[in-house]
Amino acid sequence: MTHTTEGKVIGVNGNMISVKVDGIVSLNEVGYVKVDNRRLKAEVIRIRGQQAELQVFEMTRGIGVGDPVEFTQELLAVELGPGLLGQIYDGLQNPLPELAEQCGFFLDRGIYLDALDRERTWEFTPTAAKGDTVTAGDTLGTVPEGIFKHRIMVPFDKDEAYTIESIAAAGSYPVTDTIAVIVDGRGRKHELTMLFNWPVKRAIETYEERLKPEKTLVTKVRTVDTFFPVALGGTYCTPGPFGAGKTVLQQVTSRNAEVDVVIITACGERAGEVVETLKEFPELIDPRTGRTLMERTIIICNTSSMPVAAREASVYTGVTLAEYYRQMGLNVLLLADSTSRWAQAMREMSGRLEEIPGEEAFPAYLESVIASFYERAGLVRLRDGSQGSVTIGGTVSPAGGNFEEPVTQATLKVVGAFHGLSRERSDARKYPSIHPLESWSKYQGIIPADRVEYARSVLTRGNEVGQMMKVVGEEGTSLNDYIYYQKAEFIDFCYLQQNSFDPVDQAVTTERQERVFDFMEEILRADFNLTDKSEARNFFADLRQKFRDYNGAEWDSDAFHAREKELKQLVGKYIVKEGE
């Protein structure tokens, strides 16, 4: 490539460099600073006259005033094409296993590898023909990628009408081979391959229509699907203090959610948590296919020990890959863990730019940046009539579990569901530790909202009685209030809590959730013939234990029906019949 713009470093501040530019540069353009016979990748984040500030995606050790900088005239982008699924990338889309193989235990600076394998061949089947008119996002053909048909599309920047002059016959090709030649209105020819680049900070919008997310995204976590649902194409956040189970909940969701593709963006988590993800995922079995879950997963790994600029890159890389698979009519779940560290990276960079700080020294534009990220989620209708979706779930790690801090508040303004994790519930080993009274959702779940609201009202009243009992003791409450307290404990113990180590209870189908909720609602609405608190305590203790065994029985098995019958007999002994 010919570099038409160059510059010299005139200042270094952490991982930000100031460059005097000789020529024209653009915001978000990629530049390379030369140091120690290496080229370190950087991105333009501010331009003032002939001076540009760049954030460097590597450690800036050794960079000095006068070092040369080359600008590429290209925006920070990712490679799109077949071969993304099953990969583990860093924030700049370098394949980490290949990088580790080349560098050893410690990754060297300035080494950038191709995101897609240039040697591997793909079985291409054309779906378009010579003479067809196509535009951005139209399908030229397909290749098999795991269990999916990967659509080979016209690059998304080709936004005018083109005529196909030639297209490759069915056969095996590497991603760099020309598979079609298209001609624009001025007669110019464009050769297309199976891969193309797309700027990560520009949303992919080559669909026909954006739709309202209404269908529930089934996660098989009862608390989520029933009480605080997420919509397919919607957004949600999971804030909570350190150690409250955010990462574990995300991993369980990624395994069991009824979506086609899962993208995990570890944008600044601790290295230990990422190692756990990298070790577990290749060995997990996908319940849909019986093969490894990794075949439909992409992991973008950027731990908190890596340069802060790479945290931002990893977030945008993840959402761009998600939008790409949405263009194929697939449902994609993007999990970002943790957006707080991304925000901290923004705060650090804002300080180096000497911008006027907002609340708690975060940049004043924090809310708009977070909003623009979550806005890239959505359910869309494509030109061929099919639908695809990107659902975004982000964890937030507020210091001290304070949900009033700026990152949590900025996130809550734009998401459709809030799964607030509680330190108290986490310490009590209640999993998932989603607080049932503080969390909320704007979406429709698998159970009608009025019935869920009734269950929450029992939880609310039971919590009030529990708080009162801490002051006046059990003897200071009426029997009726005490029964409400026991009913609330029953909901918590038997429905909200889920055993992720139990092969049955770790993932609960919607059919089972509906049946169990129906049974639980009968118990909540029933009047019980209990003479004193001791009898009430013993009855609900027996009920909770039997219900927990019921939750562990294989769905629709003899054991399931036997335990359900036993439960109904127990409840029937104490329930007040009509007319009594």
- The token pair at 120 is 């591997």
Three-class SS of residue 274? helix
Residue 71 known to bind ligand: no
Contacts of 303 (CB under 8 A, 6+ apart): 266, 268, 269, 270, 271, 274
Which is it for the CA torsion 463, 469, 474, 480, positive or negative?
negative
Residues β-bridged to residue 180: 167, 192
* Residue given tokens 């909570």 in the structure block: 240
Residue 30 near residue 72, CB atoms below 8 Å = yes
Please name the amino acid found at residue 442: K
Residue 380 near residue 209, CB atoms below 8 Å = yes
- Rounded distance, CA 223 to CA 420, Å? 12
Residue 23 known to bind ligand: no
Residue 247 known to bind ligand: yes
Within 135-245, residue ranges assigned H as helices are: 222
Within 268-382, residue ranges assigned H as helices are: 271-280, 309-326, 339-352, 366-374
* Residue given tokens 């079995």 in the structure block: 285
Residue 246 known to bind ligand: yes
Distance of CA 372 to the CA centre of its chain: 15
- The token pair at 214 is 């209404």
567: left (phi > 0), else alpha (psi -120 to 50), else beta?
alpha
The closest of 42, 12, 40, 45 to 30, measured between CA atoms, is 42
Residue 403 known to bind ligand: no
**What are the Cα distances from residue 412, in Å, to 7, 311, 370, 408, 441?**
42, 21, 10, 6, 11
- Rounded distance, CA 567 to CA 403, Å? 40
- The token pair at 274 is 């990422």
- Rounded distance, CA 563 to CA 270, Å? 43
Residue 14 known to bind ligand: no
Residue 408 known to bind ligand: no
- Rounded distance, CA 73 to CA 301, Å? 27
- Rounded distance, CA 573 to CA 152, Å? 64
Distance of CA 546 to the CA centre of its chain: 36
Count Cβ atoms below 10 Å from residue 429 Cβ, excluding itself: 8
- Rounded distance, CA 535 to CA 545, Å? 16
Angle at 107 between CA 106 and CA 111, to 5 degrees: 155
Three-class SS of residue 560? helix
- Rounded distance, CA 262 to CA 146, Å? 13
Residue 343 known to bind ligand: no
- The token pair at 491 is 């909901």
Residue 346 near residue 316, CB atoms below 8 Å = no
- Rounded distance, CA 37 to CA 215, Å? 54
Instruction: Please state the residue numbers annotated as binding site for ATP.
Output: 240-247
Instruction: Please state the residue numbers annotated as binding site.
Output: 240-247
